[in-house]
Amino acid sequence: MTSARPVREEFLEPVRRVLRWLASLRDSEGRIVCPDHQVEHTGKNVGAAVIACELLARDPTADAAWLVDLAVGQARRACLNLQREGTSPCFTFRPGRHDPFNCSNAVIDGGAASDALAHVVQSLGPRLTAADRERFVEASRLHARTYLRYAVLDKGIPAQRAWGLTGLAAAAGLQHDPELEKAAVEAIGVLEGIQHPDGSYPYHPLEWGAEHPGSADVSSFYQSRIPAFLMHALERMGRDPRDELFATPIRRGLDFARALQGPDGIKCGLVEAKPWYWGAEYEVASNPFDVQAFASGWRLFRNPADGLAALRAFRAFAAHLEPDGRPRSHLPGHGRAPSYQCPVFWAGHCLWIARALDDLEAIASAPAPYEPGPGTIDVSLRWFPNAQLGRLEDGQVVAWVRGARPAVNVHHGSPHGAGLVRVYGKAQGRDLLTRCRLGGANEGEWSGTAGWPSPARGWRGGGSELRFSLWLARVAARRGRLVEALLTPPRVARRGVLAFGHPRVSSAFDLAPDVRLDGTTIVIESRLAHRDGSRVGASRLTRSYEVDGSGLVVVEDLSADGGARRLGYRVPREASDVRDEGRRISWRLG
């Protein structure tokens, strides 16, 4: 494969740096061993093979021998890790689920490995020996035929099915195989069926086996994967994603993914079914999937907004890299902690950026789309009813407002709702509202206490998570974080049981507010609630959020406190035009 045009260093250099860091972890046997989990993450390490192939295609004279050796070496490692599941006819790529410290499973690892092996075969062509080519083709197809064609139809998490689909489609693309293609098209139809009409996807649908309602919430981390993987799989099979059979759900999925993203390329991380994965209120670890999704969307559907979103996602990811290429999910800061996933995961996922390099170059070379900036009077409100998420924007700010959401506990479901979840200032180039990922006392929220401590409410809220805390402690110990390992169970007990049993109430905890849209204003009728969503029945709040061309205007009206004690409201430090009348407060950001 040859690049249509030279790709600028802005895009190439960060990808090279990530690959160099990932390759530096190889041992004497050529294995990339994760320094955190002390395992060979086969499903992530194959990303090095794809990245190497993509860099080689764009500059055949730079490090060619090293890139070929790396790609072939990781493809061979994947083949060595393809093993039969006992007496089952299935062949899967180890470690998968067999080593719990791999922190993955067979459909994710297998989808990635089968896809990468096919990519190496098609990219390196005559550079491969006949033996390697035959071996890589056979491994990709064997896994797809014995495992992936079934897994893409029975796994409980849509993003996992879609990842398996990439490997299934890649194997089908190596040799015409009607059975693999039939399974892939059926899987695409099933994914369309589980998508919400507003374009969002549940992380783990209740009807597909989720054990907690919060797992069925939408996920800013996972949303872009499904449209990205769908487009990739369809093109691998020689099908056009623009066909009316496929285009509508893909474009809906891109639309919602774009709505989650701010002008800084960072998504609204508090809209998240799986908050325990992250040590901050945001992450950029998913940005490589965003890049692939938006770049492919731009190329296929020619939506300028997708191109802009792809560039933003790339630049945010690159800005978070360590100088040596080691990826970070977030920057350090007060109240932030290490994330559960590891840099090897995030480096492997960079293959999706490498695949989008030509698209990124084409987007950057095209005329920039119009976007409202400071001084303009453009105002907009977009509302996604299934996700209960609103995006308000004018030339000064972008604000995200959440309405209702599923039930939550310390590990599952979005911790905030019934109000603002993020406000980004365009002129300032940063967030204007302090937010805590754990649902603490936040700016722009009412909080107080009601009733008495309730051990029963606390146990319902987090008792089941105490056992999982022991697993998290084991993972931390394996990573050499002994203090974190010792502190994890008591932290989960404090945040998941004691906090849920505490009498504290907040306007952010109501799970079922009523939402009304009025022009460019979102009006929320809600109540004070405990952390688990149980309401202070007699309380009443009316909260309105509007953009007027000069920023965000917020009006808070507490008409009844329901007997809550020590009730207070935190006006944002950056707010202007503040009017505080006790139970009625208004202010502006922007």
Residue-wise pLDDT tens digits, 196-233: 999 999 999 999 999 999 999 999 999 999 999 999 99
- Does residue 93 contact residue 41 with C-beta atoms inside 8 Å? no
- Where in the chain do CATH 1.50.10.10 domains reside? 195-369
Q: What is the pTM of this model?
A: 0.97
CA distances, 499 to each of 164, 374, 434, 456, 459 (Å)? 38, 41, 20, 12, 10
Identify the pLDDT of residue 376: 78
- What mean pLDDT is reported for the chain? 95
**What mean pLDDT do residues 369-394 have?**
91
Owner of token pair 């805590």: 436
> Cα(58)–Cα(298) distance, rounded to whole angstroms?
21
> Cα(303)–Cα(299) distance, rounded to whole angstroms?
8
Could you say which DSSP state residue 369 is in?
A: P
When pLDDT is cut at 50, 70 and 90, the band that residue 439 belongs to is low
Identify the pLDDT of residue 145: 98
> Cα(577)–Cα(573) distance, rounded to whole angstroms?
12
When pLDDT is cut at 50, 70 and 90, the band that residue 59 belongs to is confident
Identify the pLDDT of residue 119: 98
Residue-wise pLDDT tens digits, 243-274: 999 999 999 999 999 999 999 999 999 999 99
Identify the pLDDT of residue 438: 61
CA distances, 85 to each of 80, 104, 137, 204 (Å)? 14, 16, 20, 26
- State the angle between helix axes of 225-236 and 178-194 in degrees (0 to 180), rounded to the nearest 10: 160
Which residues, 6 or more positions from 267, have their beta carbon under 8 angstroms from its beta carbon?
Answer: 220, 221, 260, 261, 282, 283, 286, 290
Residue-wise pLDDT tens digits, 382-426: 999 999 999 999 999 999 999 999 999 999 999 999 999 999 999
When pLDDT is cut at 50, 70 and 90, the band that residue 1 belongs to is very low
> Cα(347)–Cα(70) distance, rounded to whole angstroms?
15
> Which backbone phi and psi does 463 adopt, to 5 degrees?
-60, -40
On the 0-12 / 13-18 / 19+ scale of CB atoms within 10 A, 10 is: middle
> Cα(308)–Cα(298) distance, rounded to whole angstroms?
9
When pLDDT is cut at 50, 70 and 90, the band that residue 276 belongs to is very high
Q: Is the pLDDT of residue 56 over 50?
A: yes
Residue-wise pLDDT tens digits, 140-172: 999 999 999 999 999 999 999 999 999 999 999
Can the peptide bond before residue 95 be classed as cis, meaning omega within 30 degrees of 0?
Answer: yes
CA 567 to chain centre: 35
> Cα(192)–Cα(293) distance, rounded to whole angstroms?
16
Residue-wise pLDDT tens digits, 113-125: 999 999 999 999 9
**Strand ranges, E, within 329-449:** 380-384, 389-393, 397-402, 419-425, 430-431, 446-449
When pLDDT is cut at 50, 70 and 90, the band that residue 437 belongs to is low
- The yes/no answer on whether domain 195-369 falls in CATH 1.50.10.10 is yes
Residue-wise pLDDT tens digits, 7-54: 999 999 999 999 999 999 999 999 999 999 999 999 999 999 999 999
Residue-wise pLDDT tens digits, 521-572: 999 999 999 999 999 999 999 999 999 999 999 999 999 999 999 999 999 9
